[in-house]
């Protein structure tokens, strides 16, 4: 067995009673959820290093937005200096290097999401894009960004008037053969690039997406360009550019989101990222299809890397939120009989409100850990030019998986953060409880890297194509096997609920079979609705619009939950035996708790008849809540970062809730002082009554 002494012990205290009732060792569960001891060690190394560095000390007062931005930038610089990514790991294989980068990102995200987002955009995503969209002439920028950390960049795609609808963006890059330069221009404010992270105050380069126009006037569509925007020595904006900050936001205050307008701004021809297409010196546009497998791998990496990162960060946000709420629930007592107050965690209502989210935190972690390994292997193989069977089909399937999973995860985490805040009552509203920050820093993830509602439509397109193939008896393009069951759709669609007791529902078989039925039924509904609208004479565009609500949208959500279920149950089967009982219970809870939200469809489609399904499913959820009550404090111990990183007065691992609260409230710098504006508050002639 591995030596886990690098994980600090948890102090003994009021939570011992619940910790002693757990059926497993929380450190082993922690390792199991991480999946790799070296990565877990790296996370602790980062957390402990930052805890010992005064630059990362938590502030007791609200900082101004400008100060948040300054500190975030300084923290990023310091993290770069720590070189958590060693040269050796940087030179190792793609999967190992990327896993290490992802781990660094996750570790920093749990402490300060602004720093990790700044780092993810400005270093990881930009360098990924340089590597995958660029060629050898961009390698110097790549190394300067990721290895030497000399360049902090940004990615400029969104415009004021166009976000999701990227094809219609209006910033142009027109090639001028006389000077061998691209001339970048913003026609008006509606075409200003906006929301660009790191652009407002700090970055020196931007990876710009603009319409490429050749001298013959042809528009070749959006292409990537590396654009210098500030002098690295002075941070002065270069002439020809207008750059500004977006102003106050409702979260991630440390990030300087900015806008930019170009006034016939010139960049060298070589700054076009020319992996798939180039413009010759005299202005001829040339597509390169020389190495399609590498190009597909590059496309996959570009489309998905940021979204995979968001899902990993989301796993950490939900872990922190449920840790705070469960530790609070186990220490906080309210009401009781015979003058004995009982902890909130004893209430079935409280368990039902929280435990589904704890189960989601575990299932998501297992899902994303396994999925990331599959994803990285495919990108690595295709990037290295190795043959990957059905690569283009695999790219399509992975894109569909990511396009529905990022929405499902980020939305669930947002709901979890809100529920955890409410579950901590009034104290949950304190800034030092940290639930407000977790929620508002997480919130934009439902919008950036593809708005959730728009992104999930892409998964729906892919699913419907597979359904049509299955119905026609053609081959289903699902090399990862996530939807191959559709070949049996006729048999699956005939399934009906026959269970007689809750134990029949608490099985992986029941949960996966029910999800398969749901997917088949929703596919049929969505397909029929779409065809009906087309038959009325609507265009494809209009027919799709008319098939979204209750169909397309629900379908993609259900498919995402199914993915989490199949990946996590396969992962649990490989875990050590001592951990399996608790992991399976958490898995059953997540599966049944999620199915509970689809009862309407299960009845509407005839899978459930009478009250048996709803009754047994809900009874099973409540039974699982009761069975898991004694495990939950240790489950969140396994999910939680260190106390310093969690940074919540309500979620400290020692469980000394009121002492911690008193210390926090009493140590606020202005708790006891008379208001500096006391003179304004009194009447002109105060009466001593």
Ligand X SMILES: Cc1cc2nc3c(=O)[nH]c(=O)nc-3n(C[C@H](O)[C@H](O)[C@H](O)COP(=O)(O)OP(=O)(O)OC[C@H]3O[C@@H](n4cnc5c(N)ncnc54)[C@H](O)[C@@H]3O)c2cc1C
**Residue ranges that bind ligand X, judged by CB under 6 A:** 121, 154-158, 163-164, 195-197, 252, 257, 444, 447-448, 451, 453-454
Nearer to ligand X, 182 or 448 (CB): 448
227: enclosing H helix or E strand: strand 219-228
Helix, coil or strand: residue 641: coil
Whose CA is closest to 587, among 516, 509, 518?
509
Least Å from the CB of residue 271 to ligand X: 18
Least Å from the CB of residue 165 to ligand X: 6
Q: How many DSSP H helices and E strands does the chain contain? A: 26, 13
Which residue has tokens 């919540």?
Answer: 648
For residue 644, with 0-12 CB atoms within 10 Å meaning exposed, 13-18 middle and 19 or more buried, which class applies? middle
Contact 631, 583 (CB under 8 A): no
CB-based contacts of 615, cutoff 8 Å, min separation 6: none
Other C-beta atoms lying within 10 Å of the C-beta of residue 282:
9
Is 258 marked as binding a ligand? no
Is 197 marked as binding a ligand? yes
Other C-beta atoms lying within 10 Å of the C-beta of residue 159:
23
Other C-beta atoms lying within 10 Å of the C-beta of residue 280:
13
Residue 557 structure tokens: 């959500």
Nearer to ligand X, 123 or 279 (CB): 123
Nearer to ligand X, 289 or 541 (CB): 541
Least Å from the CB of residue 533 to ligand X: 15
568: enclosing H helix or E strand: helix 553-573
Least Å from the CB of residue 237 to ligand X: 18
Contact 257, 197 (CB under 8 A): yes
Facing residues of 336 across strands? Answer: 341
Which residue has tokens 């409410």?
Answer: 422
Using alpha carbons, list the distances in angstroms from residue 140 to 89, 137, 209, 495: 19, 7, 20, 59
Residue 86 structure tokens: 């060693």
Strands 205-213 and 172-176: parallel
Least Å from the CB of residue 197 to ligand X: 4
Nearer to ligand X, 32 or 172 (CB): 172
CA 120 to CA 142: how far, in whole Å? 14
Nearer to ligand X, 310 or 398 (CB): 310
Phi, psi of 38 (to 5 degrees): -65, -40
Nearer to ligand X, 331 or 405 (CB): 405
Nearer to ligand X, 225 or 367 (CB): 225
Residue 407 structure tokens: 């929405």
Nearer to ligand X, 391 or 560 (CB): 560
Report the catalytic residues: 449
Nearer to ligand X, 197 or 655 (CB): 197
Least Å from the CB of residue 121 to ligand X: 5
Contact 595, 588 (CB under 8 A): no
Write b or e for each residue in 571-597: b if 16 or more Cβ atoms lie within 10 A of its Cβ, otherwise e.
bbeebeeebbebbbbbbbbbbbbbbee
Least Å from the CB of residue 49 to ligand X: 27
**Helix pair angle (612-628, 348-383), 10° resolution:** 90
Helix, coil or strand: residue 128: helix
Nearer to ligand X, 444 or 460 (CB): 444
Other C-beta atoms lying within 10 Å of the C-beta of residue 419:
18
Least Å from the CB of residue 253 to ligand X: 10
The residue of the chain with the least Cβ separation from ligand X equals 163
Angle, CA 617 vertex, CA 611 and CA 622 arms, to 5°: 125
Which residue has tokens 């407000």?
Answer: 436
CA 657 to CA 269: how far, in whole Å? 61
In which region does residue 225 sit, left (phi positive, over 0), alpha (psi from -120 to 50) or beta (all else)?
beta
Least Å from the CB of residue 671 to ligand X: 33
Whose CA is closest to 247, among 238, 255, 236?
255
Residue 286 structure tokens: 């040339």
Binding residues: 158, 197
Binding residues for FAD: 158, 197
């Amino acid at each position: 067995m591995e030596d886990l002494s690098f994980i600090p012990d948890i102090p003994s205290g009021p939570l011992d009673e619940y910790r002693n009732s757990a059926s497993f060792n929380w450190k082993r569960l922690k390792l199991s959820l991480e999946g790799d001891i070296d990565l877990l060690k790296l996370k602790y190394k980062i957390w402990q290093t930052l805890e010992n560095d005064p630059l990362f000390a938590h502030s007791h007062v609200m900082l101004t937005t400008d100060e948040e931005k300054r500190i975030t930038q300084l923290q990023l610089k310091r993290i770069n200096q720590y070189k958590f990514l060693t040269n050796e790991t940087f030179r190792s294989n793609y999967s190992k290097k990327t896993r290490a980068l992802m781990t660094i990102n996750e570790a920093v995200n749990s402490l300060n999401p602004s720093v990790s987002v700044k780092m993810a955009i400005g270093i990881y995503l930009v360098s990924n894009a340089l590597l995958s969209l660029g060629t050898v002439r961009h390698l110097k920028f790549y190394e300067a960004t990721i290895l030497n950390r000399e360049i902090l960049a940004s990615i400029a795609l969104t415009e004021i008037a166009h976000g999701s609808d990227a094809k219609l963006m209006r910033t142009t890059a027109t090639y001028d053969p006389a000077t061998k330069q691209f001339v970048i221009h913003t026609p008006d404010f509606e075409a200003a690039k906006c929301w660009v992270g790191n652009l407002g105050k700090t970055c020196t380069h931007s990876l710009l997406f603009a319409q490429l126009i050749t001298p013959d006037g042809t528009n070749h569509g959006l292409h990537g360009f590396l654009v210098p925007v500030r002098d690295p020595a002075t941070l002065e904006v270069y002439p020809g550019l207008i750059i500004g900050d977006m102003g106050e936001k409702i979260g991630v205050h440390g990030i300087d989101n900015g806008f930019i307008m170009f006034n016939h701004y010139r960049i060298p021809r070589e700054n076009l990222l020319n992996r798939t297409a180039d413009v010759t010196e005299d202005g001829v546009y040339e597509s390169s299809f020389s190495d399609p497998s590498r190009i597909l791998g590059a496309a996959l990496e570009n489309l998905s890397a940021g979204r995979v990162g968001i899902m990993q960060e989301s796993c950490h946000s939900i872990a922190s939120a449920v840790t705070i709420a469960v530790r609070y629930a186990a220490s906080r007592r309210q009401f009781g009989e015979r003058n004995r107050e009982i902890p909130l965690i004893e209430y079935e209502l409280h368990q039902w409100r929280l435990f589904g989210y704890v189960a989601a935190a575990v299932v998501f972690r297992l899902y994303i850990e396994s999925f990331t390994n599959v994803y990285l292997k495919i990108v690595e193989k295709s990037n290295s030019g190795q043959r990957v069977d059905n690569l283009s089909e695999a790219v399509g399937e992975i894109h569909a998986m990511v396009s529905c999973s990022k929405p499902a995860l980020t939305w669930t985490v947002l709901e979890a953060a809100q529920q955890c805040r409410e579950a901590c009552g009034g104290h949950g509203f304190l800034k030092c409880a940290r639930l407000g920050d977790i929620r508002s820093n997480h919130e934009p993830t439902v919008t950036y890297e593809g708005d959730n509602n728009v992104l999930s439509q892409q998964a729906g397109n892919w699913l419907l194509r597979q359904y049509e193939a299955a119905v026609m008896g053609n081959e289903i393009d699902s090399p990862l096997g996530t939807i191959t069951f559709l070949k049996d759709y006729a048999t699956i669609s005939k399934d009906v609920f026959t269970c007689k007791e809750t134990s029949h529902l608490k099985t992986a078989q029941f949960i996966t079979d029910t999800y398969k039925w749901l997917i088949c039924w929703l596919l049929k509904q969505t397909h029929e609705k779409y065809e009906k609208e087309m038959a009325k004479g609507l265009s494809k565009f209009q027919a799709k619009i008319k098939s979204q609500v209750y169909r397309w949208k629900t379908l993609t959500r259900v498919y995402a939950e199914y993915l989490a279920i199949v990946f996590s149950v396969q992962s649990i089967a490989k875990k050590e035996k001592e951990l399996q009982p608790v992991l399976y219970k958490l898995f059953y809870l997540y599966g049944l708790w999620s199915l509970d939200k689809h009862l309407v469809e299960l009845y509407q489609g005839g899978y459930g008849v009478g009250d048996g399904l709803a009754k047994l499913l809900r009874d099973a959820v409540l039974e699982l809540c009761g069975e898991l009550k004694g495990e939950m404090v240790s489950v969140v111990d396994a999910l939680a970062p260190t106390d310093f990183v969690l940074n919540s007065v309500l979620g400290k691992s020692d469980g000394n809730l009121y002492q911690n609260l008193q210390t926090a409230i009493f140590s606020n710098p202005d708790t006891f002082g008379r208001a500096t504006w006391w003179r304004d508050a009194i009447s002109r002639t105060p009466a001593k009554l």
